[in-house]
Amino acid sequence: MGTPGLSVSAGPPNLTPRTVVIGVGNALRCDDAAGLHVARRLRTDPRAADIEVREMEGEALGLLDVWEGADAVVIVDAVRSGASPGMIHRIRADVESLPATLRGSTSTHAFGLREAIELARALGRLPARVVIYGVEGRDFLAGTDISPEVEAAIDGLAERLWREVLCPTGRFITEDR
């Protein structure tokens, strides 16, 4: 007989690290939808069937809830740094702060990806491994058309994420980046 209120698991604990890929953006602001498009491409890739892929529109503060319990997180977002449109920026946010020159699209409450990462770090809620991929955008005005440079980057980045970061079990395969 068990003890009332005590739950006992019959099976072994799940030791597989949980990796979450989060595409961030605004589908109604042209290139700002880059992260959402990468997430959609990964979600339709049969190789990624066991990987948790999420899309997030809205305030970046919501990321803390989306990645809750994850061991590793990959975030894809459109950025503006003055680099050429379509350029991919890669940052290990678990080991370094996002540069102030690398800005996401402006939030209506001025609380963006950089601020969400730093808040999570301060609160001890940052996953053990966080990799940010920023796709340099050209057009952040209202609309749904993505610039050709960003479209090309989206296609390449979805494949790069598969080859470089993820394996069929949803675990990171690169350790040095």
83 lies in some domain: yes
52 lies in some domain: yes
126 lies in some domain: yes
Q: Span 23-43, mean pLDDT?
A: 94
Cα 170 off chain centre by? 14
2 lies in some domain: no
171 lies in some domain: no
Minimal CA–CA distance to 28: which of 109, 140, 103?
140
Look at residue 6 in the predicted model and tell me its pLDDT.
40
Q: Span 80-94, mean pLDDT?
A: 93
Residues 6+ apart with CB under 8 A from 92: 129, 130, 131, 132, 177
Task: Tell whether the model's pLDDT for residue 35 goes beyond 50.
Answer: yes
Look at residue 54 in the predicted model and tell me its pLDDT.
94
For residue 2, what pLDDT band results from cuts at 50, 70 and 90?
A: very low
4 lies in some domain: no
For residue 18, what pLDDT band results from cuts at 50, 70 and 90?
A: confident
For residue 166, what pLDDT band results from cuts at 50, 70 and 90?
A: low
Q: How far is Cα 22 from Cα 62, in angstroms, rounded to an integer? A: 11
Q: Which of 40-49, 70-79, 106-115 has the highest mean pLDDT?
A: 70-79
1 lies in some domain: no
pLDDT in tens, 90-99: 999 999 988 8
Lowest mean pLDDT among 26-30, 42-46, 130-134: 42-46
Look at residue 100 in the predicted model and tell me its pLDDT.
78
Q: Span 37-50, mean pLDDT?
A: 85
Task: Judge contact between 116 and 109, C-beta under 8 A.
Answer: no
Identify the domain containing residue 160 by its residue range: 19-165
CATH at residue 80: 3.40.50.1450
- Angle subtended at Cα 32 by Cα 28 and Cα 35, rounded to the nearest 5 degrees: 110
Structural domain tally of the chain? Answer: 1
172 lies in some domain: no
Half-sphere exposure of residue 101: CA atoms within 13 angstroms, side-chain side: 4
pTM above 0.85, yes or no: no
Please spell the DSSP secondary structure of 99-168, one letter per residue.
PTT-EESPPTTS--HHHHHHHHHHHT-S-SEEEEEEEEPS--SSBSPPPHHHHHHHHHHHHHIIIIIB-T
Alpha carbon separation from 97 to 120, 125, 140 (Å, rounded): 12, 15, 24
